[in-house]
Structure 1
Amino acid sequence: MSYDALLWLSFGGPEGPDDVMPFLENVTRGRGVPRERLLEVAEHYQHFGGVSPINRLNREAITAVEKELAAQGVDLPVYFGNRNWEPMVEDTVARMKADGVRRALVFPTSAYGGYSACRQYDEDIERARAAVGDGAPELVKLRHFFDHPLFVGAFADAVRAGLEQVPGARVVFTAHSVPESADKAAGPPEEGGRRYSRQVHEAARLVAAQAGVAEYDVVWQSRSGPPQVPWLEPDIVDHIDALHAAGVQGVVVCPVGFVSDHLEVIWDLDNEAAERAAEHGMGFARAATPNGDPRFAELVVELVREHLTDGPVRTLSEFPLAGCTVNGAPCAVGCCEPVKRPAR
């Protein structure tokens, strides 16, 4: 099947102090998050001048992908759209239609399954096509890639680099926490749910094995919401406390759940986790995320070529392939449905 373009679909982030609150209101719309909590999170962004690195890093990654596409002789223009901040995906899909794009592949900047990591991107696609209306391009979302050799290899090298900074450190993998109820609903019922957390654990296992790490931990970060709602635990900062109590002298933290340095990575890890380790006198290093690694652009183009040329589908795990969707339709019945929130 032929395609006219590639849509790079991401989360979005503020690019100045005045963007922060409108951005956070977009992120939390319909969730009933108190304004006090938004102001608290806004301070994290203001700590960095009101700028998240995510849009800049996405643009740099897109440039690398464009070069890799050209190097491999693939003629596909790359468009950039976000869920929560400019360039908004609705506007981008409208521009694609105006440019004559009829069918495009979509690369979501998440390697995993689950609602916010996968199905919400399906909803973004469906919403954008509905906003554009008749003539909106057909959009085919690429699959999960948490177990792709290039993704695993980039993280494995980053872990090894961290261990060179802190020899003998405990390796701790992190990913964004989600409510327990959302994780249980992640994946089709016949697979037993928990697609997100199972994939994160598998990615950590693969990275550790390739990095030559025999013992490691998988923990979570960036939880939000009321304290009475159970989320995936333990939290990274609490885990550093536990490692210190157990006599561990150093830690290398690998944000295996992220493809780039989101605000959550540079705040929760480079600030809060690093500061807690310093308070305990522990060595600390944070492994790099992969989107600046040349292999990341190669990975994206390989996922594209799976559709263009029926190229080989490379994975390192036995997990079933998932995540590829057409026009926002879920890849399986009952897969990663949003959890209904109780009435307030």
Structure 2
Amino acid sequence: MNYDALLWLSFGGPEGPDDVMPFLENVTRGRGVPPERLAEVAEHYHHFGGVSPINRLNREAIAAVEKELAAQGIELPVYFGNRNWHPMVEDTVATMKADGVRRALVFPTSAYGGYSACRQYDEDIARARAAVGDGAPELVKLRQFFDHPLFVSSFADAVRAAHAQLGDAEGTRTVFTAHSVPLSADVTSGPPAEGGNRYSRQIAEAARLVAAEAGVEGYDVVWQSRSGPPQVPWLEPDIVDHLDALHAEGVTSVVVCPVGFVSDHLEVIWDLDNEAADRAGELGMRFARAATPNGDPRFAELVAELVREHTAGAQARKLSAFPASGGTANGEPCAAGCCEAVKRPS
């Protein structure tokens, strides 16, 4: 099947102080988040001048992918669209139509299943095509890649480098983190045949694969960046609470790997490089954070491989027994009812 373009589809982030509250309102629309909570989160962005690094990092990654595609002889222009902030995906798909794009592949910047990490990107695609109307390009989403060898090796090298930063001190604990979600979202995020819990199971598998390749024997999987009301249970433990627990056990140094993220989102640089690092300092613990793969040349190679699964019939490379789902090609489309949105009280 022929394709005319690649759509890089991401979350989006503010690029100036005036963008922060409108962006957060887009992110939380329909979720009943109180204004005081939005104001609290807004302060995290204002700590960095009202700018999230995510759009810049996406543009840098796109440039690397364009270069890699060209080197492999794949002639696909790359378009950039976001769910929550400019460039909005609806506007990008309209531009693609105007440029004559008829069929495009879509790379969502999440490696995992779950609602916001996977199915919501399907909703973004459907919403954008509906907004453009007749003549909107067909959009085919690439598969999940949390267990791709290039993804795993990039994180494994980053974990090794973080350990080296601490002098490979004896007793250093490795802690993998990912964005927390409500337990209700995780329980429903997978067909019954797979036992549900698709997101947390994939995170655990990615951590296992990275730890094995990095030569790490003991490690933990914890969560970060929860944003819901305290009465709603989310995946736990939180990274900061876990540091307290490790300190109580006598752990004196820790390597934190944000395996749930492909780049240094604001959640990474605030929740880990600020809050977690500060807490470790208060506890007298040495702290090193492993890099995310976005800037690693292997990330661009990974995207090109996913593209070639569609354009050249390349076999899906993966290190786990999980289905190669979330897209098509030689992977599997998600089952009906997989990764559904959380049903919130009306």
TM-score, normalised to structure 1, is 0.98
Corresponding residue SS for 1:209 = helix
- Does residue 183 (structure 1) correspond to residue 170 (structure 2)? The answer is no
How far apart in 1 are the matches of 2:106 and 2:328?
9
Q: Deviations over 1:115-172 (max 9, x none)?
A: 0000000000000000000000000000000000000000000000000012232100
Q: Where in structure 1 do 4 or more consecutive aligned residues deviate above 2 Å?
A: none
Q: Which residue of 2 aligns with 1:198?
A: 201
Where do residues 138-177 of structure 1 align in structure 2 (5 Å cutoff)?
A: 138-166=138-166, 167-168=168-169, 169-177=172-180
Q: Which residue of 2 aligns with 1:125?
A: 125
How far apart in 1 are the matches of 2:219 and 2:190?
26
Q: Which residue of 2 aligns with 1:40?
A: 40
Pick from 292, 299, 311: which aligns with 2:302? 299
Pick from 283, 306, 311: which aligns with 1:308? 311
Corresponding residue SS for 1:171 = strand
Q: Which residue of 1 aligns with 2:60?
A: 60
Q: Which residue of 2 aligns with 1:279?
A: 282
Contact kept in structure 2, 1:189 and 1:334, CA below 8 Å: no
Contact kept in structure 2, 1:187 and 1:335, CA below 8 Å: yes
How far apart in 2 are the matches of 1:26 and 1:69?
33
Where do residues 262-273 of structure 1 align in structure 2 (5 Å cutoff)?
A: 262-273=265-276
Q: Which residue of 1 aligns with 2:8?
A: 8
Q: Which residue of 2 aligns with 1:317?
A: 320
Corresponding residue SS for 2:84 = coil
Contact kept in structure 2, 1:15 and 1:52, CA below 8 Å: yes
How far apart in 1 are the matches of 2:70 and 2:207?
32
Shift of 1:339: 1.6
How far apart in 2 are the matches of 1:233 and 1:97?
44
How far apart in 2 are the matches of 1:50 and 1:63?
24
- Does residue 90 (structure 1) correspond to residue 90 (structure 2)? The answer is yes
Q: Measured at CA, do residues 252 and 245 of structure 1 come closer, stay the same or move farther in structure 2, by a change above 3 Å?
A: same
Q: Letter of the aligned partner of 1:283 in structure 2?
A: R
Shift of 1:325: 5.6
Gaps of at least 5 residues in structure 1 are none
How far apart in 2 are the matches of 1:224 and 1:325?
32
Q: Which residue of 2 aligns with 1:290?
A: 293
Shift of 1:330: 6.7
How far apart in 1 are the matches of 2:339 and 2:192?
9
Gaps of at least 5 residues in structure 2 are none
Contact kept in structure 2, 1:69 and 1:75, CA below 8 Å: yes
Corresponding residue SS for 2:337 = coil
Contact kept in structure 1, 2:189 and 2:338, CA below 8 Å: yes
Q: Which residue of 2 aligns with 1:340?
A: 343
How far apart in 2 are the matches of 1:322 and 1:82?
22
Corresponding residue SS for 1:173 = strand
Contact kept in structure 2, 1:119 and 1:330, CA below 8 Å: no
Q: Which residue of 1 aligns with 2:244?
A: 241
Shift of 1:70: 0.5
How far apart in 2 are the matches of 1:15 and 1:321?
34
Corresponding residue SS for 1:259 = coil
Corresponding residue SS for 2:139 = strand
Contact kept in structure 2, 1:79 and 1:92, CA below 8 Å: yes
Shift of 1:189: 2.1
How far apart in 2 are the matches of 1:333 and 1:19?
36
Q: Which residue of 2 aligns with 1:134?
A: 134
**Equivalenced residues, count:** 341
Shift of 1:321: 1.2
How far apart in 2 are the matches of 1:268 and 1:325?
34
How far apart in 2 are the matches of 1:30 and 1:288?
34
Corresponding residue SS for 2:263 = coil
How far apart in 2 are the matches of 1:165 and 1:321?
35
Corresponding residue SS for 2:63 = helix
How far apart in 1 are the matches of 2:49 and 2:287?
25
Q: Deviations over 1:240-266 (max 9, x none)?
A: 000001000100000000000100000
